[in-house]
């Protein structure tokens, strides 16, 4: 059976074009929404996931595309989930996709060769990684930390995911956060109050612990359930949101609903250091001061 989705390298040029359309920088959600629209991915394609990990294949390959483009210096990470288009990336907007891919792979091989010069490297490691990567064939140490974290989040009980969401809101400055646990309440899983200086907002939240994408219908249903009961709404999922769902969440004339997808959830947990240990690694660059020896 043929693969119904573009390979990671086929998302490279669409990624550069998305960043260019966004003014040279964009969040992961903004970039992926643009790519989904420009490549005409269907909801059925977005729902395709890896059998073992449950990670959505399409967004996983988009993430690999960003990583490879970073190797080639076409994009740069601006931190906190924001990506930047470099001058080289702007220049490459008119290049054939094959040239972009080739330069990314050559840059990666050069970096691996440089590392191998100072430490032992497994023969063929670079060639193995250049192949289109399948999350189900990678062990935990090779997976991106967010993939490993999502696997754990999808494995916990729904009630545990609700408690984790409650903890996230508390750590983020919410007060009076309660998990209702009621069935038949329009999908509302909990309530909280967000205090901002002298102003407070009543917030209702919904937790969706599953793979796949959340559509516009789910956002509309949630908004209907919160009508007249809260100032804002929040949907947290381990999956993704379709472009239509994101448009529905910010539709003019309707109460805004904030959306946190699986990838954003992972970075939020990282920032809050909940279930994620972050160890900073310092490196040093050493050069010989030749003028020192001339003065001895």
Boundaries of every domain in the chain = 8-141, 153-272
Among residues 103, 85, 102, 91, the alpha carbon closest in space to that of 16 is found at 85
The CATH architecture to which 153-272 belongs is 3-Layer(aba) Sandwich (3.40)
Q: What is the mean pLDDT of each run of 10 residues along the chain (296 residues)?
A: 83 96 90 93 86 78 92 86 91 95 92 73 44 40 72 89 92 89 71 86 89 87 89 91 88 88 89 87 79 77
Q: Output the pLDDT for position 71.
A: 92
**CB neighbours (10 Å) of residue 236?**
25
HSE at residue 108, side-chain half, CA atoms within 13 A, is 22
Q: Output the pLDDT for position 125.
A: 44
**CB neighbours (10 Å) of residue 247?**
13
**CB neighbours (10 Å) of residue 106?**
12
Q: Distances in Å between the alpha carbon of 210 and those of 2, 76, 152, 180, 239?
A: 26, 31, 11, 20, 6
Q: Output the pLDDT for position 237.
A: 93
Q: Output the pLDDT for position 228.
A: 84
Q: Which residues contact 254 (CB under 8 A, 6 or more apart)?
A: 223
Q: Output the pLDDT for position 49.
A: 81
| Pair 103, 72: CB distance under 8 Å | yes
* Distance from C-alpha of 105 to C-alpha of 220, rounded to nearest angstrom: 43
Q: Output the pLDDT for position 227.
A: 85
Three-state SS at 79: strand
* Distance from C-alpha of 20 to C-alpha of 159, rounded to nearest angstrom: 42
Q: Output the pLDDT for position 185.
A: 58
The token pair that represents 86 in the structure block:
């470099």
| Pair 249, 256: CB distance under 8 Å | yes
Q: Output the pLDDT for position 139.
A: 39
**Strand runs labelled E in the chain:** 25-27, 75-79, 82-85, 174-179, 190-196, 199-208, 213-214, 232-237, 240-241, 257-260
| Pair 77, 23: CB distance under 8 Å | no
Q: Output the pLDDT for position 124.
A: 45
The token pair that represents 267 in the structure block:
């970075």
């Amino acid at each position: 059976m043929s693969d119904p989705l573009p390979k990671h390298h086929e998302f490279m040029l669409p990624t550069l074009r998305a960043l260019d359309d966004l003014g040279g920088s964009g969040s992961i959600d903004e970039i992926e929404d643009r790519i989904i629209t420009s490549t005409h991915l269907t909801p059925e394609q977005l729902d395709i996931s890896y059998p073992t990990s449950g990670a959505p294949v399409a967004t996983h390959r988009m993430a690999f595309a960003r990583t490879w483009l970073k190797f080639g210096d076409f994009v740069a990470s601006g931190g906190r989930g924001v990506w930047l288009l470099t001058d080289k990336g702007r220049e490459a907007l008119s290049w054939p996709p094959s040239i972009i891919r080739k330069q990314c792979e050559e840059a990666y091989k050069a970096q691996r060769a440089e590392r191998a010069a100072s430490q032992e490297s497994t023969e063929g490691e670079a060639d193995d990684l250049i192949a289109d990567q399948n999350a189900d064939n990678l062990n935990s140490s090779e997976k991106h930390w967010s993939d490993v974290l999502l696997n754990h989040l999808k494995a916990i009980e729904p009630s545990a995911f609700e408690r984790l969401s409650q903890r996230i809101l508390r750590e983020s400055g919410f007060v009076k956060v309660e998990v209702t646990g009621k069935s038949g309440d329009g999908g509302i899983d909990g309530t909280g109050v967000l205090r901002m200086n002298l102003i407070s907002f009543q917030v209702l939240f919904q937790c969706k612990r599953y793979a796949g994408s959340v559509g516009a219908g789910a956002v509309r249903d949630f908004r209907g359930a919160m009508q007249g009961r809260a100032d804002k709404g929040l949907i947290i999922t381990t999956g993704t949101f379709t472009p239509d769902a994101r448009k529905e969440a910010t539709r003019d004339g309707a109460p805004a609903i904030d959306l946190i997808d699986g990838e954003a959830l992972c970075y939020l947990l990282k920032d809050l250091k909940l279930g994620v240990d972050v160890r900073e690694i310092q490196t040093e660059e050493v050069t010989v001061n030749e003028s020192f020896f001339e003065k001895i």
